Amino acid sequence: MILSGWGRTTPQACRVSRPRSEAELAARVAEGGLIARGAGRAYGDAAQSAANTVDMGGVNRMIRFDADSGQLVAEAGVWLADVIATFLPRGWFPAVTPGTRFVTLGGAVAADVHGKNHHREGSFGAFVDWIDLMGPDGTVRRLTPGDDLFRWTLGGMGLTGVILRVALRLRRVETGWIAQRTVVAPDLAAAMAAFEGNADALYSVAWIDCLAQGAALGRSLVMLGEHASVAALPGVRREHPFTVPARPRRALPFDAPGFALNPLTVRAFNEVYWQLGKRKAGPALVPWDAYFYPLDAIGNWNRIYGRRGFVQFQCALPLASSADALHELLKVVSASGQGSFLAVLKRFGPQAAPFAFPMEGYTLALDFPLHGQTSALLDRLDRIVVAAGGRFYLAKDARMSRETLWQADPRAAAFVELRDRLGLRAAFASTQSERLGL
| Segment near another protein (CB under 8 A); pick from 40-48, 61-69, 314-322, 371-379 | 61-69
- The reply on whether position 86 binds another protein by CB under 8 A is yes
Q: How far is the CB of 208 from another protein (least distance, A)?
A: 38
- The reply on whether position 174 binds another protein by CB under 8 A is no
> In whole angstroms, how far apart are CA 285 and each of 88, 143, 156, 276, 433?
17, 40, 37, 17, 42
Angle (nearest 5°) at CA 403 between 402 and 406: 85
Q: How far is the CB of 78 from another protein (least distance, A)?
A: 9
Cα–chain center distance at 82: 18
Cα gap 430→438, rounded to integer Å:
9
Return the amino acid letter for 423: G
Pick between residue 65 and residue 150 the one whose CB is nearest to another protein: 65
Pick between residue 65 and residue 428 the one whose CB is nearest to another protein: 65
- The reply on whether position 243 binds another protein by CB under 8 A is no
> In whole angstroms, how far apart are CA 154 and each of 67, 71, 128, 251, 354?
26, 18, 10, 32, 8
Find the binder of another protein among 27, 51, 61, 414 (CB under 8 A): 61
Find the binder of another protein among 11, 20, 262, 263 (CB under 8 A): 20
Pick between residue 51 and residue 320 the one whose CB is nearest to another protein: 51
- The reply on whether position 242 binds another protein by CB under 8 A is no
- The reply on whether position 142 binds another protein by CB under 8 A is no
Name the 3-class secondary structure at 416.
helix
- The reply on whether position 140 binds another protein by CB under 8 A is no
- The reply on whether position 402 binds another protein by CB under 8 A is no
Pick between residue 82 and residue 360 the one whose CB is nearest to another protein: 82
Backbone angles phi, psi at 224, to 5 degrees: -100, 150
What lies within 8 Å, CB to CB, of 9 at 6+ separation is 44, 308, 309, 310, 311, 370, 398, 399
Cα Dmax for the chain: 61
- The reply on whether position 240 binds another protein by CB under 8 A is no
- The reply on whether position 64 binds another protein by CB under 8 A is yes
**Contacting positions for another protein (CB under 8 A):** 18, 20, 61-65, 82, 86
